[in-house]
Amino acid sequence: MKIIDKLLLKPEDFQPSFSDWEIKGVLNPGAVRLPDKRILLYVRVAESAIQKEGIRTCPIMSSEKEYKFEYQHIPEVDIVRMGRWGEMYLKDGLCRLPTISHFKRVVVSKDGFRVLEKEQRPIFTGMPGDGDYGVEDPRIVKIEDKYLMTYVSISTHEGVSTSLAISKDLKSWKRQGIIFREQNKDVVFFPEKIKGKYVALHRPEGFFEFSRPSIWVSYSPDFIYWGRERSILQPRPGAWDHDRIGAGAPPIKTKKGWLEIYHGVKRIDGITFYSVGAVLLDLKNPEKALARSYADNPLIKSEKDYEKSGFMSNVVFPTGAIADLNGKDVLIYSGGADSIVSVRKLRVNDILKSMEYY
């Protein structure tokens, strides 16, 4: 399959929020086409405060308006173990994050490949009760006359949840608060109502795992109250998406069905790999998968150097998919190794041909 790709953004393209902070990664952008046909990205910027020996410093947002933080200083002796993302599990049983993320605004050319504008100031941050430990992985979609952004909000009392913000102009956002409570991420909306309801894909996780984390569907009359939930797509034993899957970009409508670009995770000999696949969902019944990338052949693997090593190596994590202006291709925006942002152009027909039909 012919894929045109480009590394778009890297940490050095941005300045940290404070001179003694460090940018760990720019990743997982929400993407939407602007009325003037250029493409807007909301890029996640993950930062850490400079660490001193023997002490870990965690920034917590205390005022969104003044962009102010409080700092929690954790003696290393209080840390029992560290997780994959550097999260710290403490003696008292709680978990803390060493990094905090916000979003920055980037404008890309109509063809999707050239950065035209990048803003240094944060365009969207967490706030107490809605991401005081940061906001992550935005997904943006236009529905009717509004832009909707779902994002992971990590908060002291609300944990890892998904929140919603709505905008008419992509400049000022009205926060709607949490729509899928912890622990639920990878929430994307379909761009139009189906049978009179708004539809979301999401990925809840449980403590008692009877099955591996899968993609669920849910319906709403108003984007706030969601229900009629069902798991519709599961990880496959032995496949590149063996361990967990989650929706990637908001689904794109094609004649054949809804094209959903999703991520799948597989651990091999202690190394975790994030790859990308496609699933085609029935236009009238989004619970029905018509076709899916083969179990032994993902659409995209973390093959580029900038995906093979970085803050979190072997990761390609798609969060935006935009129809190309030629009507034939799709532009996929992803985080690479949790460090950089890349774009890939693929022909929709090639994707449809690469799948296994049921």
List interacting residues with ligand MAN (CB under 6 A).
Answer: 27-28, 85, 136-137, 274, 312, 315, 317, 335, 338
3-state secondary structure (DSSP) of residue 82: strand
CA 333 and chain centroid, separation: 10
Integer Cα distance of 122 and 134 in angstroms = 12
Residue whose CB is less far from ligand MAN, 219 or 342: 342
Residue whose CB is less far from ligand MAN, 24 or 345: 24
Distance in Å, CB of 350 to ligand MAN, minimum? 26
Distance in Å, CB of 328 to ligand MAN, minimum? 29
Residue whose CB is less far from ligand MAN, 85 or 225: 85
* Residue 35 neighbours by CB distance under 10 Å: 8
Which residue has tokens 């973390």?
A: 302
* Residue 10 neighbours by CB distance under 10 Å: 17
Distance in Å, CB of 357 to ligand MAN, minimum? 28
Backbone angles phi, psi at 39, to 5 degrees: -115, 135
Distance in Å, CB of 317 to ligand MAN, minimum? 4
Residue whose CB is less far from ligand MAN, 85 or 357: 85
Integer Cα distance of 83 and 249 in angstroms = 26
Distance in Å, CB of 243 to ligand MAN, minimum? 11
Residue whose CB is less far from ligand MAN, 257 or 318: 318
Residue whose CB is less far from ligand MAN, 137 or 329: 137
Query: In the numeric block, which tokens belong to residue 280?
Result: 């085609």
Contact 180, 226 (CB under 8 A): yes
Residue whose CB is less far from ligand MAN, 83 or 177: 83
Integer Cα distance of 314 and 336 in angstroms = 8
Backbone angles phi, psi at 354, to 5 degrees: -85, 0
Distance in Å, CB of 324 to ligand MAN, minimum? 25
Cβ neighbours of residue 39 under 8 Å, at least 6 residues apart? 31, 32, 33, 107, 108, 109, 110, 112, 322, 331
Distance in Å, CB of 246 to ligand MAN, minimum? 7
Residue whose CB is less far from ligand MAN, 218 or 314: 314
87-to-15, 51, 248, 282 alpha-carbon distances in Å: 24, 14, 23, 39
Distance in Å, CB of 190 to ligand MAN, minimum? 21
357-to-40, 202, 286 alpha-carbon distances in Å: 33, 23, 15
Distance in Å, CB of 253 to ligand MAN, minimum? 26
Query: In the numeric block, which tokens belong to residue 182?
Result: 């912890």
Residue whose CB is less far from ligand MAN, 257 or 319: 319
